[in-house]
C-alpha cells in the first residue's frame, strides 16, 4: 500500500483521515505541530497499523522545507501528499497575525506552507508516479487583492481565510497544468461545510457536519484515480470560484507566490 503524508493529523479532519488510511493498510506519515500530541497520535495509529510522526510548525517556511527534506530522505517511496493542515478565521474580532516570516498568518499556513511543502516533495512524488496531491480547500473563496495581498488594510479573519483558500484552489489548477503527463495528479476539495473542528468552534460557528462527513472526499482523492486539476465538493465534482480558472489571475498569483516564497 502507498505511503501517505497527512499534514495537520493531530486533530479534526486530518486525524480522522489518518486513522482511515492506516486501517486500510497505508503507511501514514502523520504531521503535527506539537511534539507530545504527535507522539500520542502515532502511538494510537500504530495500534491499528503502520505510522510515523513528523513535527513541524507550518508558520515557518524554513520548518516547512525541513519537513519536506526529512520526509523525502526517510521515505523515498512516498506517493501521496494530503495538504490538510490549516487555520480558520480565528475568534470573532481577532486582529491580524503574522507568521515567523512576517507574512499574514492565514496566507502563510493555508497557502504558502502547502505550496512550499509540495515543491520540496515533488521530486519524490514524480519518482513514484502514479502519485497524488490532495489540497484540502474550502467553498469559502474570495479573490486575492493583488494591491494588498497580505491584508494590511481592513483586516478580517474570514476574508483572510477565504483568500488563502482561493489562492490554494488557483494554485492547484496551475500546478496540475505544470505536472501534466508526469503521472502526478493534484486536486483540491471542499470536504464539508462547518465541520465540528477546533477552527470552526473558535470562529463561534455552530458546526453543521462532522469530520466523518468530510473524510470521504479526501480519502477518495488520496486513494483513487480521479483525474487531475479538479475541484470537488466532498466526493462530487464541482466548480471553484470562477476567477480561480482565469489565466491572468493565476499568472499574477504565481508571480506573487514566487516573491513571497523567496523565488
Report if pTM > 0.85: yes
Catalytic residue from among 111, 161, 231, 245: 161
Distance CA 127, CA 184 (A): 9
pLDDT-derived band of residue 226, with 50, 70 and 90 as boundaries?
Answer: very high
Distance CA 29, CA 5 (A): 5
Active-site residue 161, yes or no?
A: yes
Distance CA 158, CA 177 (A): 29
User: What would the mean pLDDT of 216-226 be, rounded to a whole number?
Assistant: 98
**Model pLDDT for residues 166-215, shown as the tens digit of each residue:** 999 999 999 999 999 999 999 999 998 777 777 778 777 777 888 999 99
pLDDT at 263: 53
Task: List, edge to edge, every strand of the sheet that includes 78-83.
Answer: 51-55, 27-32, 3-6, 78-83, 131-136, 184-190, 231-233, 236-238
Distance CA 8, CA 84 (A): 6
Peptide bond into 130 cis (omega under 30): yes
Task: Give the mean pLDDT of the chain.
Answer: 95
Distance CA 78, CA 46 (A): 18
Of the candidates 149, 163, 147, the residue with the CA atom closest to the CA atom of residue 110:
163
Distance CA 127, CA 8 (A): 25
Of the candidates 50, 3, 12, 47, the residue with the CA atom closest to the CA atom of residue 33:
12
- Report whether pLDDT(27) > 60: yes
Amino acid at each position: 500500500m502507498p505511503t501517505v503524508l497527512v499534514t495537520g493529523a493531530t486533530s479534526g479532519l486530518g486525524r480522522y483521515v489518518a486513522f482511515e488510511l492506516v486501517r486500510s493498510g497505508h503507511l501514514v506519515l502523520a504531521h503535527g505541530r506539537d511534539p507530545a500530541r504527535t507522539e500520542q497520535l502515532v502511538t494510537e495509529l500504530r495500534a491499528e497499523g503502520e505510522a510515523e510522526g513528523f513535527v513541524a510548525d507550518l508558520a515557518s517556511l524554513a520548518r516547512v522545507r525541513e519537513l519536506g527534506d526529512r520526509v523525502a530522505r526517510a521515505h523515498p517511496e512516498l506517493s501521496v501528499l494530503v495538504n490538510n493542515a490549516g487555520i480558520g478565521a480565528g475568534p470573532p474580532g481577532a486582529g491580524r497575525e503574522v507568521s515567523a516570516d512576517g507574512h499574514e498568518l492565514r496566507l502563510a499556513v493555508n497557502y504558502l506552507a502547502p505550496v512550499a511543502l509540495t515543491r520540496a516533495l515533488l521530486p519524490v512524488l514524480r519518482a513514484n508516479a502514479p502519485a497524488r496531491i490532495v489540497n484540502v480547500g474550502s467553498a469559502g473563496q474570495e479573490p486575492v487583492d493583488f494591491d494588498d495581498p497580505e491584508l494590511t488594510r481592513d483586516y478580517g479573519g474570514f476574508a483572510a481565510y477565504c483568500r488563502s483558500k482561493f489562492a490554494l484552489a488557483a494554485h492547484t489548477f496551475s500546478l496540475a497544468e505544470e505536472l501534466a503527463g508526469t503521472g502526478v495528479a493534484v486536486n483540491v476539495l471542499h470536504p464539508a461545510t462547518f465541520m465540528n473542528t477546533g477552527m470552526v468552534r473558535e470562529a463561534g460557528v455552530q458546526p453543521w457536519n462532522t469530520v466523518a462527513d468530510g473524510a470521504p472526499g479526501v480519502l477518495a482523492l488520496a486513494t483513487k484515480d480521479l483525474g487531475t486539476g479538479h475541484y470537488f465538493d466532498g466526493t462530487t465534482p464541482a466548480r471553484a470560484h470562477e476567477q480561480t480558472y482565469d489565466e491572468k489571475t493565476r499568472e499574477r498569483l504565481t508571480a506573487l507566490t514566487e516573491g513571497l516564497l523567496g523565488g
